[in-house]
């Protein structure tokens, strides 16, 4: 019997870009994955990662049933047995050592997951631990704190109106590789070309001449982790040259005039000394920005994950505010998502509690992940004795991964919700695997909130849930039922309704309460390509969540960090020995996270896990292309092949994130065969942003030692 070919439309949820897909399949056999030309957001564009949806679904290494680690190795067990053992193990630890003896880590894929986003609270409530961590604090934490302080909510983050801007300055970001980040955008290559085509300009500031810099109008090398000095000088130039531009947003920011005095010590010449960018070029950048009709300054990962990441992101927002680019067409604007996550979540809070060992601040109930390993390894009251992780591989994705590896090995108990036996989950006692991405319904709760154009799209599960499979939200509810059997009446009702109807009824309620009329889950199901809700619109002061409907600049908090900054840079040497370098990471369009390295189509070809080094620097050390180099930091050491290229500035080296699949006890055959090394075996858990506690994984001091091959006898 011939099986009918079916066309399925959905949104790719492997990164932030929300590309629409057209999937042809016969039964459960996928025939092709292409871009959906009728998707109003992506208009047919997809990147190479889209095929990984098929690879994840078909991967023979993907776990489909619960696994228990025993003396005789990993054993498959039933779901009931797994839930019972996982809950019993957690309960035992918490009874013996207290609720906070259980640590929780949530990985990046959680925010790409409708069920996870809407139901994770059930398990967190049942666990009752206040010892929580996530990938946020090795990524975008500064964005959330700035949004919380200035606009009154951790998720009220404006994004570049890239579709209409005439002048875009990009700092520490490579959207051609990341597909945008805290800027949900599809086909960013074309967006940048369009800016130039309409007579505009794109300027990239980065220690590496990235794929985005290659396409830009102009590129400037900058010393890693010196962005804060450049930004201070840029803001100073605005005040000293009367370039402040009146705007509706500026009228809402009381006391901005005082900022001029606070930034006065940071001259263009001071910035030139510490960034490597000429003073005249900085002045030109600022003045061209101010002369443009529609301009926007955007800074991302490279700016966030350094020692002054929070102050830097604050200054970026301040620069947009002072130049009339906030909440204006072509500048930084606030999306209007159909399912408004801001209206349906708390504003957040900062520094209510401090971590036990180092006293680092929490944000919205999570401690910086840079202190996770010490919270496990340091004995005493409150020591973490067990872990519960969801969709995360912190051994490869957080600083000082080797130390965390040792810490996880020392735990008394560990439960992981994950469908891979990877570098982190290999330490678990119980692994609970959810269904793959195409087997679940999808709506981008988080990324419509960061999109450069307003749309809405619901993707139904492509295949029916297999009989012995469980969704992540079902896993959360089953564990919660065992760990917290007694509930207040309303919570009991909510948990019961969720168990019966899944997370979709919650999404439907959000859509019906949202800002766009006549939208519901039923309406979206009738529009499989999605619904176009129009370009970004000015929203101030309505979008502000502060009761007084003003922008709170919080200068006292942010500029208190200037003393630390001056002390560091005034005593910093801009010269270094040939063997010394500053380490930065890098992204590739085929490699979003460590879990994507088990797809042959995404890892095939020349190895991408290399040490990028400038030719002049390589010549000083007699390093040739392909030669093995020992790279050492305060916390670790790796050996990696050199890739000699003038795309990196002298004195800086780069290793990509997410590799290092060379630890025993994992089961990812393709990743193991393309292991690479982990850059986070070099990043330092004691290098943090002092204001936020965010990990500082850019600008890590390392030493280089070329390995000379012995001649054959």
| E-state strands within 330-444 | 332-333, 350-354, 361-363, 386-390, 413-417, 430-432
Phi, psi of 449 (to 5 degrees): -75, -10
Cis amide prior to 541 (ω within 30 degrees): yes
Q: Report the candidate in 210, 114, 311, 127 with the shortest Cα–Cα distance to residue 647.
A: 210
Give the pLDDT mean for 34-48.
95
Locus of tokens 């570049």: 160
Residue 188: pLDDT above 90?
A: yes
Class of residue 563 by CB neighbours under 10 A (exposed 0-12, middle 13-18, buried 19+): exposed
**Mean pLDDT along residues 599-614:** 93
CB burial of residue 412 (10 Å; 0-12, 13-18, 19+): middle
pLDDT digits (tens, 9 = 90+) for 377-415: 999 999 999 999 999 999 999 999 999 999 999 999 999
Q: Which two tokens stand for residue 648?
A: 């990196």
**Range list of β-strands (E), 206-270:** 218-220
CB 164 within 8 A of CB 534: no
pLDDT per residue over 49-105, tens digit each? 888 899 999 999 999 999 999 999 999 999 999 999 999 999 999 999 999 999 999
23-29 — which CB contacts under 8 Å span 24+ positions?
A: 23/53, 23/438, 23/462, 25/462, 27/3, 28/463, 29/3
What are 113-169's pLDDT values in tens digits? 999 999 999 999 999 999 999 999 999 999 999 999 999 999 999 999 999 999 999
pLDDT in tens, 621-672: 999 999 999 999 999 999 999 999 999 999 999 999 999 998 999 999 999 9
Q: Is the pLDDT of residue 274 over 80?
A: yes
- Is the model more confident about 2 or about 505? 505
Whole-number pLDDT of residue 713:
47
pLDDT over 70, % of the chain: 99
Digit-coded pLDDT (tens) for 513-539:
999 988 999 999 999 999 999 999 999
From residue 82, alpha-carbon distances to 104, 328, 398 in Å are 18, 53, 28
Helix (H, G, I), strand (E, B) or coil at 601: helix
Averaged pLDDT of the chain: 95
User: What is the pLDDT, as a whole number, of residue 589?
Assistant: 85
Q: Which residues pair with 470 in a beta bridge?
A: none
Q: State the pLDDT at residue 578.
A: 84
**Mean per-residue pLDDT, 241-270:** 97
Q: How far apart are the first and last CA of the chain?
A: 65
Q: Is the pLDDT of residue 331 over 60?
A: yes
Q: Structural domains in the chain?
A: 5-58 (2.20.25.90), 67-136+357-534 (3.40.50.740), 161-333 (3.40.228.10), 575-706 (2.40.40.20)
566 membership: H or E segment, kind and range: helix 562-570
**pLDDT of res. 72:** 93
The 3 state secondary structure assigned to 303-355 is HHCCCCHHHHHHHHHHHHHHCCCECCCCCEECCCCCCCCCCCCCCCCEEEEEC
**pTM, to two decimals:** 0.97
């Amino acid at each position: 019997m011939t099986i009918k070919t079916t066309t399925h439309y959905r949104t790719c949820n492997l990164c932030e870009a929300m590309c629409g897909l057209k999937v042809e399949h016969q039964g459960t056999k996928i025939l092709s994955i292409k871009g959906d030309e009728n998707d109003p957001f992506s208009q047919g564009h997809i990147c190479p990662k889209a095929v990984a949806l098929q690879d994840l679904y078909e991967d023979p290494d993907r776990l489909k049933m619960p696994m228990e680690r025993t003396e005789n190795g990993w054993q498959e067990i039933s779901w009931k047995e797994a839930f019972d053992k996982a809950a019993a193990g957690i309960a035992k630890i918490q009874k013996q050592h207290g609720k906070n003896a259980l640590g929780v880590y949530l990985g990046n894929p959680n925010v790409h997951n409708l069920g996870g986003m809407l139901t994770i609270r059930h398990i967190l409530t049942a666990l009752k631990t206040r010892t929580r961590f996530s990938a946020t604090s090795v990524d975008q934490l500064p964005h959330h704190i700035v949004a919380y302080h200035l606009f009154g909510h951790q998720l009220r983050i404006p994004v570049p109106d890239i579709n209409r801007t005439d002048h875009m300055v990009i700092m520490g970001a490579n959207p051609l590789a990341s597909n945008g980040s805290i800027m949900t955008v599809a086909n960013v290559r074309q967006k940048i070309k369009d800016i130039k085509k309409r007579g505009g300009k794109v300027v990239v500031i980065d220690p590496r001449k990235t794929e985005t810099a290659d396409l830009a109008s102009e590129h400037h090398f900058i010393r890693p982790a010196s962005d804060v000095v450049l930004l201070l000088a840029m803001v100073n130039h605005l005040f000293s040259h009367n370039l402040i531009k009146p705007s509706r947003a500026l009228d809402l920011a009381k006391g901005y005039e005082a900022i001029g005095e606070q930034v006065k010590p940071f001259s263009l010449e001071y910035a030139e000394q510490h960034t490597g960018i000429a003073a005249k070029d900085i002045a030109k950048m600022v003045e061209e920005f101010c002369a443009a009709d529609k301009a926007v300054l955007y800074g991302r990962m490279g700016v966030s994950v350094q020692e002054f990441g929070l102050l830097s992101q604050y200054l970026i927002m301040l620069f947009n505010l002072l130049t009339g680019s906030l909440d204006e067409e072509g500048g930084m604007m606030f999306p209007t998502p159909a399912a408004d996550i801001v209206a349906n979540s708390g504003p957040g809070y900062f520094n209510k509690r401090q971590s036990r060992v180092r006293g680092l601040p929490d944000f919205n109930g999570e401690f910086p992940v840079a202190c996770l390993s010490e919270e496990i390894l340091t004995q005493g009251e409150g020591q973490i004795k067990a872990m519960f992780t969801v969709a995360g591989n912190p051994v490869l994705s957080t600083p000082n991964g080797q130390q965390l590896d040792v810490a996880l090995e020392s735990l008394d108990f560990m439960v992981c919700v994950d469908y891979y036996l990877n570098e982190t989950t290999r330490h678990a006692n119980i692994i609970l695997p959810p269904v793959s991405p195409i087997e679940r319904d999808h709506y981008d709760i988080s990324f419509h909130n960061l999109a450069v154009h307003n749309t809405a799209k619901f993707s139904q599960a492509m295949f029916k849930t297999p009989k012995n499979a469980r969704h992540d939200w079902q896993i959360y509810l089953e564990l919660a039922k065992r760990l917290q059997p007694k509930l207040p009446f309303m919570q009991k009702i909510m948990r019961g309704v969720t168990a019966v109807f899944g997370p979709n009824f919650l999404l439907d309620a959000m859509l019906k309460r949202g800002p766009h009329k006549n939208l519901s889950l039923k309406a979206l199901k009738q529009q499989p390509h999605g619904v176009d809700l129009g370009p970004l619109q000015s929203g101030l002061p309505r979008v502000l969540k502060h009761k007084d409907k003003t922008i709170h600049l919080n200068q006292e908090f942010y500029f208190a960090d200037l003393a630390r900054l001056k002390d560091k840079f005034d005593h910093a040497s801009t010269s270094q020995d040939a063997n010394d370098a500053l380490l930065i990471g890098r992204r590739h369009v085929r490699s979003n996270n460590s879990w994507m390295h088990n797809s042959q189509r995404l890892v095939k070809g020349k190895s991408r896990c290399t040490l990028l080094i400038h030719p002049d620097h390589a010549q000083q050390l007699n390093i040739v292309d392909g030669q093995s180099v020992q790279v050492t930091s305060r916390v670790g050491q790796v050996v990696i092949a050199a890739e000699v290229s003038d795309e990196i500035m002298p004195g800086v080296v780069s290793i990509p994130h997410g590799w290092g699949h060379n630890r025993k006890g994992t089961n990812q055959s393709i990743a193991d065969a393309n292991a690479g090394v982990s850059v986070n075996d070099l990043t330092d858990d004691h290098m943090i942003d002092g204001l936020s506690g965010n990990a500082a994984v850019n600008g890590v001091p390392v030493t280089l030692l070329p390995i000379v091959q012995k001649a054959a006898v």
